[in-house]
Amino acid sequence: MTIFRRGTPHQYRFLCYEIEETSSIDWEHSDFIAFNSIEEEYGNTIKVINFEDFKIQNRKLFEAKEDWGLTPKSLKFTEYFDITPAFGIGLICNENVKNAIEENKLTGFVFGSIDVDIVFD
């Protein structure tokens, strides 16, 4: 967003929102692990090089063993964000956003913790 002060434009961002959940993930430096969603059982760590590889590895796991898939253990991002979509589970936001939403009594949000380390490069 651009705001103007005395005719001079200034960039203003009150919120950095990652639009596409895969665009700034450093896939090769993130960690993914096999996971059985029914039994809540973890398997081996699996290296992923990009989003296409993630989809292939996830599909292979599911075809080999029903109810198994690939889940992130740690996600390394190449740029900072306040909110980002998160692998179909909702949104990931930082503490500042969570606190601002709660302090301003905004409704329609359910916050929970995730078992994924988030790292910004």
Q: Which residues contact 16 (CB under 8 A, 6 or more apart)?
A: 80, 81, 82, 83
For 45-75, how does the pLDDT look when each residue is reduced to its tens digit (9 = 90+)? Answer: 999 999 889 989 999 998 998 889 998 899 8
For the chain, the C-alpha Rg in angstroms (whole number) is 18
Residue 117 clears pLDDT 60, i.e. is over it: yes
Residue 39 clears pLDDT 80, i.e. is over it: yes
DSSP state of 17: B
Q: Which residue has the higher pLDDT, 113 or 48?
A: 48
Q: Which residue has the higher pLDDT, 102 or 16?
A: 102
Q: Which of 74, 33, 40 is nearest to 57 (CA)?
A: 33
Q: Which residue has the higher pLDDT, 69 or 16?
A: 69
pTM of the predicted structure, to 2 decimals: 0.68
Tell me what the mean pLDDT of segment 21-49 comes to.
Answer: 87
The pLDDT-based confidence of 40 (bands split at 50, 70, 90) is confident
